[in-house]
Structure 1
């Protein structure tokens, strides 16, 4: 029992470095993929990959799934400030709970994804998206266009979603103990 108590204690002897390293890897992969796609594609250009996946260059001035896309520009600063505030809080949590591996993996992925998209907002005024999943059957569900396309996204968005999933898994595991 003492092992579990120390594992989840507020004080941790674990270093912040590995978690920031994971976030840095996410940022690097995200930015390299975005640089590559912008060099190879023009805005709106699509490349068929499989029957359910395309590469496409899209710009998103809003938030996830183009939320507030046409809000007039203020959203760029709002989402940048929100992400930077979240990043600061995540770093605090990583420092405080560095020994909780699954929890910190989740936070590191979310941190890397958030910073990856902040870099886009600061450099370009929008987030660069390029992963386009689709299926004809999806056109019948809310949130998908008539051609069945899920809104385009990027590696940073994927890391945020994976981190959120790990966060939920960690919480479910913690509650079940």
Structure 2
């Protein structure tokens, strides 16, 4: 479990520090867009009130609190699962990525009322309209890792 907690803490801090630098330090909240390495990497401010890609977005406080509760319940379930199963180190790191990323987005919803998304990547003539953040990357990587690194038969 130690590996999970360390990974979750590093992920959470990295997510929040990057958001602080980009949203506040670079003033992306006001500027709206900064081209870094166009079209491959751009900063585009997006306040996500829903889940990934703005799905189930609602401007109501109720929707915000439901999404906060959902993130907390899923994180709690993952922690309980990892504690019971005691999978290998890759699964623990994956769980830490998921939990740390989820907590980063929960803090955004508490502070800003929405998740601060700002990374935008396009390539090869395909314009990506969506933005994401470090927490989203961690959640995705953690979920994929949990699929890949759990569920196998344990050896005695």
TM range (shorter): 0.7 to 0.9
Matched, 1:53 2:38: no
Q: Could you say which residue in structure 1 is the equivalent of 2:141?
A: 162
| Pair member with larger Rg | 1
Matched, 1:34 2:19: yes
Q: Could you say which residue in structure 1 is the equivalent of 2:91?
A: 103
| CA apart distance, 1:55 | 1.4
| CA apart distance, 1:72 | 3.4
Matched, 1:18 2:3: yes
Unpaired stretches in structure 1, ≥5 consecutive residues: 1-15, 139-147
Paired residues in the alignment total: 151
Separation in structure 2 between the aligned mates of residue 150 and residue 94 of structure 1, nearest angstrom:
36
Matched, 1:92 2:77: no
Structure 1 segments, 4+ long, off by >4 Å, are: none
TM-score by length of 1: 0.76
Residue range with higher mean Cα deviation, 64-73 or 88-97: 64-73
Partner deviation per Cα, 1:117-160 (whole Å, 9 max, x = no partner): 0011111110011111123633xxxxxxxxx1241000000001
- Cα gap change, 1:85 to 1:150, in 2 (>3 Å): same
Q: Could you say which residue in structure 2 is the equivalent of 1:153?
A: 132
Partner deviation per Cα, 1:61-89 (whole Å, 9 max, x = no partner): 11111112245342211110001111111
Separation in structure 1 between the aligned mates of residue 48 and residue 124 of structure 2, nearest angstrom:
23
Residue range with higher mean Cα deviation, 40-49 or 26-35: 40-49
Which one scores higher on RCO, CA 8 angstroms, separation ≥ 6? 2
CA RMSD of aligned residues (A): 2.1
Separation in structure 1 between the aligned mates of residue 60 and residue 40 of structure 2, nearest angstrom:
33
- Cα gap change, 1:165 to 1:38, in 2 (>3 Å): same
Separation in structure 2 between the aligned mates of residue 42 and residue 157 of structure 1, nearest angstrom:
18
